[in-house]
């Protein structure tokens, strides 16, 4: 699944995922699909807390193993639990005026402030496994847990509202000070 819409958010989830993959390659740190999901989620959550706006427009959904960005899941599910190698997330972009003028591209972050922000998230989360990051999203009063408690089961994979994510992570900023 790809995101074709234009966005008011500063970037795409695919660009954030690709930046994390680039950072992992540079430091020779393996990233499996679960770890990538949680890194992208945490980047989005911390960005909301610091900026009051989403990092990207893709929905964060409450799946049984924690928060998931479906477009990122779709790109990397074939890796299972194995490290992601040789693949980037892509988006479908309109390239001309004709109905058939579309192409797939692997977006990258072109804003240094966003790259610096993603690097901060990377530096604080890179040493955790996907399972550890997922377990952290299941703690009491986390956005995923709030949605799970509201829905009971997550078979329909409901969205986690950005306002919930922002509130929880802003509270963490206040607690840390």
What tokens does 93 get?
Answer: 């972009």
d(CA 76, CA 86): 11
Average pLDDT across each block of 10 residues of the chain; the chain has 177 residues. List them in order.
50 96 97 98 98 96 94 95 92 71 77 96 97 96 96 92 97 81
Q: How far is CA 122 from CA 8, 17, 54, 125, in A?
A: 24, 11, 18, 5
In a domain, 8, yes or no: no
In a domain, 46, yes or no: yes
In a domain, 2, yes or no: no
In a domain, 4, yes or no: no
Give the model's pLDDT for residue 7. Answer: 44
DSSP string, 19-86: HHHHHHHHHT----HHHHHHHHHHHHHHHHHHHSS-S-SSPPEEETTEEE-HHHHHHHGGGTTSPP-S
Give the model's pLDDT for residue 6. Answer: 37
Helix (H) or strand (E) run with residue 94 in it: strand 91-94
Q: Which of 60, 63, 72, 62 is nearest to 19 (CA)?
A: 72
What tokens does 31 get?
Answer: 């990233």
Give the model's pLDDT for residue 92. Answer: 73
Give the model's pLDDT for residue 176. Answer: 67
Give the model's pLDDT for residue 148. Answer: 95
Query: Position of tokens 């402030």?
Result: 113
Domain range enclosing 131: 13-176
In a domain, 7, yes or no: no
Q: How many domains, in total, are found in the chain? A: 1
In a domain, 6, yes or no: no
DSSP assignment letter at 60: P
**CB proximity list for 103: less than 8 A, separation 6 or greater:** 92, 93, 95
* CB of 19 closer than 8 Å to CB of 10: no
In a domain, 104, yes or no: yes
Give the model's pLDDT for residue 14. Answer: 96
Query: Position of tokens 């693949």?
Result: 87
Predicted TM-score (pTM) of this structure:
0.89
């Amino acid at each position: 699944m790809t995101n074709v819409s234009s966005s008011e958010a500063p970037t795409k989830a695919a660009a954030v995922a690709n930046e994390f993959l680039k950072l992992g390659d540079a430091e020779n740190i393996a990233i499996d699909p679960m770890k990538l999901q949680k890194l992208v989620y945490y980047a989005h959550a911390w960005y909301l807390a610091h900026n009051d706006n989403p990092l990207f427009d893709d929905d964060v959904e409450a799946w049984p193993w924690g928060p998931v960005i479906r477009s990122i899941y779709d790109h990397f599910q074939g890796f299972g639990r194995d490290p992601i190698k040789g693949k980037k997330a892509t988006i479908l972009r309109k390239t001309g005026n004709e109905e058939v003028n579309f192409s797939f591209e692997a977006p990258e972050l072109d804003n240094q402030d966003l790259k610096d922000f993603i690097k901060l998230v990377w530096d604080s989360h890179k040493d955790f496994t996907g399972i550890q990051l997922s377990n952290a999203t299941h703690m009491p009063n986390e956005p995923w847990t709030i949605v799970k408690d509201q829905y009971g089961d997550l078979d329909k994979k409901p969205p986690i509202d950005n306002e919930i994510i922002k509130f929880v992570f802003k509270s963490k900023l206040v607690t840390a000070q």
